[in-house]
Amino acid sequence: MSVFRKLFGVFLAALLLGGALKVGGDLKAGPEIQGALKPQAVHREAAEEIVDRLDLHYSRLSFDDALSERVLEQYLKDLDPNRLYFTRKDIDDFQIYRDQLDDQLEDGELEAGYSIFNRFQTRLEERLTEILADIKAGFDDWQFDGDEQVLVDRSEAPWAADDEALDAIWRRQLKNAVLSMRLNGTEDSAIRERLTNRYESQLNRVRQNTAEDVFQTYMNALAQSFDPHTNYFTPHNSENFDISMSRSLEGIGAVLQYEDGYTKVVRLVPGGPAAKQGRLKPADRIVAVGQDDDDLVNVIGMRLDEVVDMIRGPKGSDVQLEVIPAGSASEHDTRTVTITRNKVVLEEQAAKKEVIEFDHDGDKVKLGIIEIPAFYMDFNAFHRGDPNYTSTTRDVAELLVELRKENVDGLVIDLRNNGGGSLLEVNKLVSLFINRGPTVQVREAGGRVSVENDQYPGMLYAGPLAVLVNRYSASASEIFAGAMQDYGRALIVGDQTYGKGTVQTLLDLNHGKLKMTNAKFYRVSGSSNQNLGIVPDVNMPSLIDKDEVGESSLPNALPWDEIQPADYERYQDLMPLLPTLRERHDQRIQNNPEFVYVEQLRDLVADANRRHELSLNADQRKAWQDQYDQKRLAIENALRKYRGEEPIDKMEDLRKLEEQRALDPEASEEPMNEDPYLRETGHILADMVGLLRDQRVASQDS
């Protein structure tokens, strides 16, 4: 199994692949490598160059014994995240490297990385061979009536003492797989076929590993020890990176990363096929890929670039993805998603507006809404000097002029699911809502702080403003929301944002590329966006699990910190209003069926995910599943009753309904005027306007 660590935010599921592999001669004499796979001279040279470049990383980590230990732990986690292959003896043998990796890497010596990987390769082949033999022997006589349990997450479990202990762990893993599929109605013959295909696919992939595979895995363990956005790309994958930065992408429109043996969905491109289809979600893990009506091919353990190559394809063709839904307690509780490939063009992510009207405390309120899916610009046209280049700010400015003509009482900027984009565009967008001043600060690795400023005097819109965000609002979105909050220019409403506050640069190497964090974003108040994100003034209920999604969920994420504030002036202090705004908001939503649905479903899923162990007793598992399904249906039917829809009797019917919605997502897309989050944001904004008016009246009377 080839293992690649979190190439975060790089691969869109439409990349064209290719690239040449440099081949060098033999290495100079060094520690003897145990095993068949050995590095080439070009790998040694690249390792030395990577070490030199990492000396300039923002975190300024020293190449010392502490870093050596960190890299070793990261490498072992990357290779065997669930502790299913190495035994305690293997781990003890590797301890000789705990204080040696820094010295070896500085000398371009790769003995530790290759020797550990070769041991892993051996253990993996042995285990997969044994598993396939167990499956072939059949499981008709397996008992599912005792008190046996299986650990859901083994990432923090003790390493197995020996092979006999590992045999017991794997027996429980296989029993859990069989029981999960039986409870889903899968016949034993189909279970045997699925498991056989899965493990044969992994075994075949393992036997294709090359020295280049080992080098990328080891270098990414080193890079990821600095922070999760620092990555090494082989020449082959660096070409994919270049293509992913282009403005037109063909495929499903999803950003993928490798994590713990799986291809994980990081985010969906707004306006892309996957986002429109609606069933693929961030944090879902892809376990198999199929073309049109062909059989699904298992991709667990497969290289990320290989998976991307399978997912991409011509416009109009279908791709089937078997995924483990985010938060699923079992890797065998999967669903199949079919997506029609299409061209993803950034212009399709253009900002759009709508006006909704609602009653607030007896008054009619007209609310303007501008949805911004991404901070886009046509860089090529911009550099050519084309005055009509595609621009987020230009589009929003035109929409603001149109909304002013409609005499809206307030404005909501909707940044939900906006993963960021152009720094130039977000700075210009801030300028539409402030007179003049700093927009964001950037601190470089050496400590120098630069301040980006609004170069355009005057405000295009000076009225009441709210910014709606969620956990998928990141990077440039956080810069805009943070500036609006610091200036007191807008209320921030929604969920705590992603927390991506770092800046990366792409460095060419003699063999591949290194993407390295070299700066950090800071708000004008001096607070970092990193890790913490933007904390809303008023929180909305959310289904997103912060432990699964967000910077704080990533290993070795750089911490939140502060620097000196920039020179700026607040327009108004909204802090004194927040307790009243929050209280009124809570009163409104506590009995609102739309928000009650979100909170109850979130709590139900959270309770299920808190289970550390699963029973291998069939009756107990079925009883738990039946109880869960009943609660899930009750939550769903309460909302359906509120909406005037017929109740659903069985979970099978609910799943079929979700499938139908996925086949025609645009038909079920909720209009802005029916979006409960937008309507509630409007109520919050109307409350703010009333409180500010009361403040002014009280000030005049005094």
Q: Which of 103, 241, 276 is nearest to 665 (CA)?
A: 276
Summarize the confidence of residues 505-528 as an average pLDDT. 94
List the structure tokens of 373. 């899916």
The three-state secondary structure class of 369 is strand
List the structure tokens of 457. 């005097």
Q: Which of 31, 53, 27, 30 is nearest to 41 (CA)?
A: 27
List the structure tokens of 534. 């933007």
Comparing 203 with 240, which gets the higher pLDDT? 203
Cβ neighbours of 419 (radius 10 Å): 24
pLDDT tens digits, one per residue of 558-575: 999 999 999 999 999 999
Task: Kindly indicate the confidence band of residue 428, based on its pLDDT and cuts at 50, 70 and 90.
Answer: very high
Alpha helices in 140-210 (DSSP H): 163-183, 188-206
List the structure tokens of 309. 């190559």
d(CA 241, CA 304): 12
pLDDT tens digits, one per residue of 375-426: 888 777 777 877 777 889 999 999 999 999 999 999 999 999 998 888 889 9
Does residue 255 have a pLDDT over 80? no
Cβ neighbours of 381 (radius 10 Å): 14
CATH fold group of domain 350-571: 2-enoyl-CoA Hydratase; Chain A, domain 1 (3.90.226)
pLDDT tens digits, one per residue of 399-412: 999 999 999 999 99
The domain 234-345 having CATH identifier 2.30.42.10: the answer here is yes
Distances (CA, A) of 271 to 240, 414, 664: 22, 15, 15
Task: Kindly indicate the confidence band of residue 660, based on its pLDDT and cuts at 50, 70 and 90.
Answer: low
List the structure tokens of 132. 């396939």
d(CA 202, CA 674): 47
Q: Distance between terminal CA atoms of the chain? A: 75
Give domain limits for the chain: 22-224, 234-345, 350-571
The three-state secondary structure class of 324 is strand
Does residue 8 have a pLDDT over 70? no
DSSP percent split of the chain into helix, strand, coil, nearest 5 = 40, 20, 40
The three-state secondary structure class of 608 is helix
In this predicted structure, which of 38-52, 266-280, 349-363 has the lowest mean pLDDT?
266-280
- Positions annotated as catalytic residues are 475, 486, 500
> Which residue bears the tokens 């923002």?
58
Alpha helices in 303-345 (DSSP H): 304-311
pLDDT at 23: 37
pLDDT at 22: 35
**Amino acid identity at 470:** N
List the structure tokens of 331. 């890797």
Comparing 340 with 505, which gets the higher pLDDT? 505
Task: Kindly indicate the confidence band of residue 329, based on its pLDDT and cuts at 50, 70 and 90.
Answer: low
pLDDT tens digits, one per residue of 49-63: 999 999 999 999 999
C-beta of residue 635 within 8 angstroms of C-beta of residue 654? no
Spell 128-147 as b/e; 16+ CB within 10 A means b: beebbeebeeebeeeebeee
C-beta of residue 274 within 8 angstroms of C-beta of residue 338? no
Q: Is 69 exposed, middle or buried (0-12, 13-18, 19+ CB in 10 A)?
A: middle
* C-alpha torsion angle, residues 334, 340, 345, 346 (rounded to 10): -30
d(CA 104, CA 65): 11
pLDDT at 345: 57
d(CA 595, CA 342): 34
d(CA 608, CA 326): 12
Percent of the chain with pLDDT over 90: 59
pLDDT at 578: 96
Angle of the 235-244 helix axis to the 304-311 helix axis, nearest 10: 50
d(CA 198, CA 205): 11
pLDDT tens digits, one per residue of 588-601: 999 999 999 999 99
pLDDT at 335: 78
Q: Which of 682, 74, 71 is nearest to 410 (CA)?
A: 682
In this predicted structure, which of 29-43, 145-159, 521-535, 536-550 has the lowest mean pLDDT?
29-43
**Amino acid identity at 307:** V
Distance of alpha carbon 22 from the chain centroid: 32
C-beta of residue 146 within 8 angstroms of C-beta of residue 620? no
In this predicted structure, which of 460-469, 532-541, 563-572, 653-662 has the lowest mean pLDDT?
653-662
Q: Considering the chain, what is the average pLDDT of its residues?
A: 85
d(CA 466, CA 682): 8
pLDDT at 319: 86
> Which residue bears the tokens 């044969």?
200
pLDDT tens digits, one per residue of 575-628: 999 999 999 999 999 999 999 999 999 999 888 888 889 999 999 999 998 999
> Which residue bears the tokens 């732990």?
73
pLDDT at 4: 37
Residue 348: DSSP 8-state: G
**Amino acid identity at 653:** D
pLDDT at 334: 78
Does residue 145 have a pLDDT over 80? yes
C-beta of residue 427 within 8 angstroms of C-beta of residue 452? yes
C-beta of residue 232 within 8 angstroms of C-beta of residue 7? no
Spell 116-127 as b/e; 16+ CB within 10 A means b: bbbbbbbbbbeb
d(CA 549, CA 552): 8
Alpha helices in 30-137 (DSSP H): 41-54, 65-79, 88-94, 101-106, 111-137
pLDDT tens digits, one per residue of 283-317: 788 888 888 777 778 787 676 777 877 887 777 78
Cβ neighbours of 573 (radius 10 Å): 8
Does residue 667 have a pLDDT over 50? no
pLDDT at 14: 30
> Fold identical between 234-345 and 350-571?
no
